[in-house]
Each structure stands twice: as C-alpha cells, then as structure tokens.
Amino acid sequence: MAASVDSVETGRLPAPRPGPVPWVAMYHSVGDCSDDPYRITVTPERLGRQLAWLRRRGLRGVSVAELLAARARGEGRGLVGLTFDDGYTDFLTGALPLLRRFGCGATLFVLPGRLGGDNAWDPLGPRKPLLTADGIRRAAAEGVEIGSHGLTHVDLTRADDATLTAEVAESRARLTELTGAPVDGFCYPYGTVDARAVEAVRKAGYAYACAIDPGPLTGPHALPRAHVGQNDTAWRLHLKLRLHRLRRRPVEGV
C-alpha cells in the first residue's frame, strides 16, 4: 500500500509493521519425568520426537540470538527459538546430544548465583542438580548460547531495588566473566514481568529478554514463549504453534 499524502509531504514514512510473532519454545529439564509436579521435564525420547517434528515441518531450532539476527536480515522463515531454563545438569546429557543430532541450536538460561546447586526454589518434587561453571563453559563450547536467568531465581516483580539490580546486572557480569563472551539474553524467573523489571533488564545492557505471556509489555525485552512439555505430541505442538501465532501480540522491532 502506498504511503499517505501527508506522510510524503512531511517526509515521514509510516513505521513498518512488525512481522509474524516469533515462535520460541520453552523447555526446562530433560530426563526422568516420573516425579514432575511442575511439568518442567521432558524425556530425551520425547525431545527427540519433538525435534523430529520440527524437521518434518521444514523448521529448525536455533538460539534466540540467532533467531532475532536472522529476522533482522529478513531471513527468519523456517527458524524457531529453543530455550532451556534454569541450567540443569541433564541439559548436557539429555538435550545436547539431540540438538547435535538434529542440527539445532539453543539458548540455555542459567543461574550464576546457584552454580552446582539445585532447584531449591521448587518446594515440591525431586531436587534437580544445576550446572557448575565448568558445565556452563562446556555448553558454550558446543555452540549453545548462554543467557542469564537471574542470580538465584527470584520473582523480579517482588524484588526490592538492590535485589533487582543484583539479579539482572550482576548476573550478566558474572556470566560474561565465566564464559568470556558477551551475554545478550535474559529470562525472567517464573515468567513474571512488569515494566520495572523490563527497564532494569534493558538498562543492564541485554539485547533481548524472554517471558511467557507478557501481554502489553511484549517487545524485544519481553518476548512471549510457548511451554513445551512431556505431553506435547506432534498434534499438540501443531496446535500450540498455531495458537501462539494467533494469540500473541506482534513484537515491535523484531
């Protein structure tokens, strides 16, 4: 459609419409899901079938940084983001071999304040060990993008100013030192986000941040994601992909 007369006369062109909503899948643990009250675990077998489903549809999983860079070049068609929250040790044994097998990339959001610890923030279910510094470096060496999930996995919408700064800015500084590489991505613990948290993440220098359903806050620092779990068969994934694109807001600037 041509620009309006007013736009031409004033020398201003309308801002381009944002493209289709990027599809970013949210995973957590990859291992035994027999005791999984929060539905955060998929078995390696299920993950393999889900990655095979992507391939059959002509889609390829990549890190969020690669997805956004490709979209900025107009080359994002056929790419979906794969994210793994919390930094469980089973990422190395359960997820990484399958990502290699299917030629996929991923973003791993870790907690530098809990290196070698466990998921103490979950009162129910089994204790799941978290990656050590060496484990994070190993993932990075395999081409996995490392992002911050905060220092210790606290709800940023309830954090005081000092805690918010530490969880956002200090976690980025620690991971940059640990990996020797820039840390561009952040992931809001629990998926909860408000304008104050978004501003803190932007101010800390992150290029993007992931949430779950940020509503009006949707943007490069509050990207929507779709939870993927053990029960997500090919048919359910198909529905989730369609619903995500229909229900999520367009992302300005992405």
The string of DSSP codes covering 164-179 is HHIIIIIHHHHHHHHH
- Main-chain phi, psi angles of 143, to 5 degrees: 95, 5
Cα–Cα dist 215/210, whole Å: 12
Given a cut of 50, whether residue 217 has pLDDT beyond it is yes
pLDDT at residue 21 in the model = 78
Please report, in angstroms and rounded to a whole number, the separation of the first and last CA atoms in the chain.
Answer: 21
Query: Tens digit of pLDDT for each residue in 223-253?
Result: 999 999 999 999 999 998 888 877 777 787 7
Q: Report the candidate in 215, 174, 170, 165 with the shortest Cα–Cα distance to residue 192.
A: 215
- Main-chain phi, psi angles of 25, to 5 degrees: -90, 140
Residue 19: which pLDDT band, with cuts at 50, 70 and 90? Answer: low
Whether the CB-CB separation of 3 and 204 falls below 8 Å is answered with no
Token pair of 47 as six digits = 């993950």
Cα–Cα dist 48/56, whole Å: 12
Token pair of 192 as six digits = 């909860």
pLDDT at residue 14 in the model = 36
Cα–Cα dist 230/13, whole Å: 47
pLDDT at residue 254 in the model = 85
Residue 12: which pLDDT band, with cuts at 50, 70 and 90? Answer: very low
Rounded to an integer, the average pLDDT of 8-14 is 35
DSSP-based three-state secondary structure for 18: coil
Cα–Cα dist 110/117, whole Å: 11
Strand 29-30 versus strand 41-42 pairing type: parallel
